[in-house]
């Protein structure tokens, strides 16, 4: 009987109990986390929704009729939209309007006669707030108009649920850390052994030999051998993959209804825009490590190609038939089925990058000799044919994006259409990328509700996982492939790996700064998730290299963190992703909420659903069940 069992098993049990406790704590606190004042939603204008506030417009102007326009700061070069039309002939001195609270807005008041601007005010409304806009004219001059916003009732602090959930998570992880620390102490281990099996413990202590039997020693050696074998696998990669996956699951479930957990409407980044490229990045890293290992074992490239092709086909079919929003229309709804999607893009990216690797990668010796020329670029120069192909692919993306003529649109257009660009190109959403998808796939087979219609009111279907953007998805995976090459070339040289990751992160960041001019909308190529622009790829690669460097340092170098709880979903990523999509609308992942406009209830539901998938992944890991395709 060895002492390793209580340590390992108790630590895993503590992890599972902590996660379950988190679910219970978050659920219990949902009723106490009020995200809006109770009397705000019962105003004359009806129930306010999330990301909205109430605005009472008090008119003291001598004009018989005027119009209040609004425009969000998030809407770049957008037309003003009508908020309220006030008419004194209707004997109405005040109006009620609902305003957007996601971003600061500009209110502009125009007189209908001559459409002259009377005044303008810039303001950041807060969710579920109650405000008044007073329009007053100077008695000495009717042209001197003042606009003033007054808070009638303070808005609710809608971010409170996030803070409470954060502290719950922190408390759980502190308990988990302290529990793991205590379980490493010999005194605690001996006490646990005695409590679990006091008879056997006493027998071992009081035996004539005073040591375990040969069978005990052999089983203990087997345990440590298995532990050492498992430790050879880079836990940082699975941890990085699991981190990306868990954030992806959380934002797909709704992210508590908060706008910053949803995809950006067009240019720029939110938390939701980070995770898919990271998943693609770490997929590229795994491709190199996997294929180089199989090539060293003597597997033929042709045999590996068929395995890669079959896996790509499986991924594409799962995305097409299993994870597709049109599946509820029936199995034969071919007329409007969405052809592209997340798994479809992953499958194509995986196929191209794997073939590129099989064509040019050689099973190099392990470890690599360090006395060769150009030591600093030794993980790049041997793969120059791959880099030439990648540069050629990026040239294709640039040429199609900026040179392909699109009917009714300016050449090289990168905008969202709709009311953007002052409404001049309303049907040009995505420029060449959208045009290629509509021509090749058909308008009915393209994503019908892009994020651009939230702010920019675009009406043209556009697919963020379309054909043209897949080229840059391949580029992203190739940068992940480069991370895998660094791990192989500098195996067991932790300092060199960390330096290389940091160098690549800085290099990618510099390219992004040049392409974007360090701005959201004014650069040569803005950061854009919908387009998967090259600046988006370099920016997310910069983050990915840096984040992988930190996780590698903590998990595989210093081993102060074992990667939990993200490590477990990372080991079963396909199962978790497909499962969370398929069972999204089923209990216990979703239930009927008392208040559908409460951030607290949405956040509770989404955190519980995400935590359940972590628990499922942990149980499957303990049972050694992994879904591989």
Token pair in block for residue 121? 């005010």
- Same domain for 443 and 540? yes
Q: What pLDDT does 90 receive? A: 56
In a domain, 589, yes or no: no
- Same domain for 254 and 360? yes
Q: Residue 32 phi/psi, 5° resolution?
A: -90, -10
Report the percentage of the chain scoring pLDDT > 90.
51
- Same domain for 271 and 127? no
The residue range of the domain holding 400 is: 235-454+461-582
CA pair distance 213, 207, nearest whole angstrom: 10
In a domain, 211, yes or no: no
The counts of H helices and E strands in the chain are 18, 8
Q: What pLDDT does 22 receive? A: 47
Active site residue 122: no
CA pair distance 134, 368, nearest whole angstrom: 74
In a domain, 618, yes or no: no
Contacts of residue 572, defined as CB under 8 A and 6 or more positions apart, other chains included, come to 617, 620, 621, 625, 626, 627
In a domain, 86, yes or no: yes
CA pair distance 323, 582, nearest whole angstrom: 7
Q: What pLDDT does 58 receive? A: 85
In a domain, 206, yes or no: no
Q: Exposure of 357 by Cβ count < 10 A (0-12 exposed, 13-18 middle, 19+ buried)?
A: buried
Instruction: Quote the DSSP letter at residue 319.
Output: I
Q: What pLDDT does 44 receive? A: 43
- Kindly report which listed range (51-65, 118-132, 153-167) carries the lowest average pLDDT score: 51-65
Mean pLDDT of 74-85: 90
**For the ranges 146-150, 376-380, 397-401, 495-499, the one whose mean pLDDT is highest:** 397-401
Task: Give the domain-ending residue among 153, 178, 213.
Answer: 153
Q: What pLDDT does 64 receive? A: 67
In a domain, 360, yes or no: yes
User: Looking at 263, 288, 580, 602, which residue is catalytic?
Assistant: 263
pLDDT tens per residue, range 429-484? 999 999 999 999 999 899 988 989 889 999 999 999 999 999 999 999 999 999 99
Task: Give the domain-ending residue among 137, 153, 169.
Answer: 153
Task: Read off the pLDDT band of 540 (50, 70, 90).
Answer: very high
* pTM (predicted TM-score): 0.85
- Same domain for 248 and 141? no
Q: What pLDDT does 419 receive? A: 93
Handedness of CA 286, 368, 498, 227 (dihedral sign): positive
Task: Give the domain-ending residue among 109, 128, 153.
Answer: 153
Greater confidence (186 vs 294) lies with 294
Q: What pLDDT does 551 receive? A: 96
Q: What pLDDT does 31 receive? A: 42
Token pair in block for residue 138? 């100077």
pLDDT tens per residue, range 190-224? 777 776 665 554 444 344 333 444 344 333 333 33
Mean pLDDT of 333-352: 90
- Same domain for 148 and 245? no
CB 563 within 8 A of CB 235: yes
3-state DSSP assignment of residue 109: strand
CB 191 within 8 A of CB 182: no
Q: What share of the chain is helix, strand, coil (3-state, %, to 5)?
A: 55, 10, 35
- Kindly report which listed range (34-48, 370-384, 395-409, 505-519) carries the lowest average pLDDT score: 34-48
| CATH number of the domain that residue 132 is part of | 2.60.40
In a domain, 312, yes or no: yes
The tally of domains found in the chain comes to 2
Helix axes 275-296, 467-489, angle to 10 degrees: 50
In a domain, 3, yes or no: no
């Amino acid at each position: 009987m060895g002492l390793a069992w209580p340590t390992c098993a108790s630590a895993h049990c503590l992890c599972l109990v902590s996660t379950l406790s988190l679910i219970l704590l978050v659920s219990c606190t949902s009723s106490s986390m009020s995200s809006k004042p109770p009397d705000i939603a019962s105003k004359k204008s009806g129930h306010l929704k999330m990301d909205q506030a109430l605005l009472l417009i008090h008119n003291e102007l001598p004009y018989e009729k005027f119009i209040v326009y609004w425009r969000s700061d998030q809407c770049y070069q957008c037309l003003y939209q009508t908020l309220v039309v006030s008419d004194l002939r209707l004997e109405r001195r005040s109006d009620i309007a609902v305003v957007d609270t996601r971003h600061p807005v500009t209110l502009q008041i125009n007189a209908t006669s001559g459409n002259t601007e009377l005044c303008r005010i810039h303001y950041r409304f807060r969710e579920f707030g109650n405000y008044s806009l007073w329009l007053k004219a100077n008695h000495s001059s009717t042209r001197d108009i003042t606009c003033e916003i007054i808070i009638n009732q303070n808005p609710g602090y809608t971010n409170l649920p996030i803070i409470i959930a954060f502290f719950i998570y922190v408390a759980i992880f502190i308990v988990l850390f302290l529990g793991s620390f205590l379980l490493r102490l010999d005194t605690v281990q001996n006490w646990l052994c005695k409590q679990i099996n006091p008879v056997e413990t006493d027998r071992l202590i009081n035996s004539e030999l005073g040591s375990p039997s040969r069978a005990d020693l052999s089983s203990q050696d087997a345990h440590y051998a298995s532990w050492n074998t498992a430790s050879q696998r880079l836990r940082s990669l699975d941890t990085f993959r699991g981190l990306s996956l868990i954030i992806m699951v959380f934002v797909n479930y709704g992210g508590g209804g908060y706008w910053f957990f949803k995809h950006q409407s067009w240019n720029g980044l939110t938390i939701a825009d980070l995770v898919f490229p990271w998943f693609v990045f770490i997929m590229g890293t795994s491709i190199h490590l996997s294929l180089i290992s199989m090539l060293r074992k003597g597997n033929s490239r042709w045999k590996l190609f068929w395995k890669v092709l079959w896996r790509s086909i499986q991924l594409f079919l799962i995305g097409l038939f299993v994870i597709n929003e049109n599946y509820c229309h029936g199995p034969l709804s071919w007329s409007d089925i969405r052809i592209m999607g997340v798994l479809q893009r992953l499958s194509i990216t995986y196929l191209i990058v794997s073939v590129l690797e099989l064509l040019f990668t050689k099973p190099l010796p392990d470890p690599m000799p360090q006395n060769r020329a150009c030591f600093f670029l030794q993980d790049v120069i041997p793969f120059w044919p791959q880099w030439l192909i990648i540069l050629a692919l990026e040239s294709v993306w640039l040429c199609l994006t900026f040179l392909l003529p699109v009917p009714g649109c300016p050449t090289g257009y990168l905008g969202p259409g709709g009311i953007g660009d002052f409404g001049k190109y309303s049907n040009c959403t995505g420029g060449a990328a959208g045009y290629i998808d509509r021509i090749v796939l058909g308008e009915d087979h393209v994503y019908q509700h892009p994020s651009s219609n939230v702010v920019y009111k675009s009406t043209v279907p556009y697919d963020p996982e379309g054909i043209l953007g897949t080229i840059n998805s391949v580029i992203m995976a190739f940068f992940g492939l480069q991370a895998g090459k660094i791990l192989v070339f500098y195996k067991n040289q932790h300092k060199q790996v960390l330096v290389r990751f940091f160098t690549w992160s800085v290099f990618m960041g510099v390219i992004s700064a040049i392409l974007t001019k360090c701005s959201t909308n004014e650069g040569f190529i803005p950061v854009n998730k919908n387009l998967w622009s090259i600046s988006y790829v370099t920016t997310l690669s910069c983050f990915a290299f840096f984040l992988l460097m930190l996780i590698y340092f903590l998990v595989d170098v210093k081993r102060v963190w074992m990667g939990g709880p993200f490590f477990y979903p990372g080991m079963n990523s396909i199962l978790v992703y497909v499962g969370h999509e398929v069972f999204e609308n089923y209990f216990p992942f979703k239930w009927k909420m008392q208040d559908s406009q409460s951030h607290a209830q949405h956040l509770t539901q989404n955190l519980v659903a995400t935590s359940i998938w972590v628990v499922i992944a942990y149980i499957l890991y303990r049972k050694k069940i992994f879904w591989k395709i």
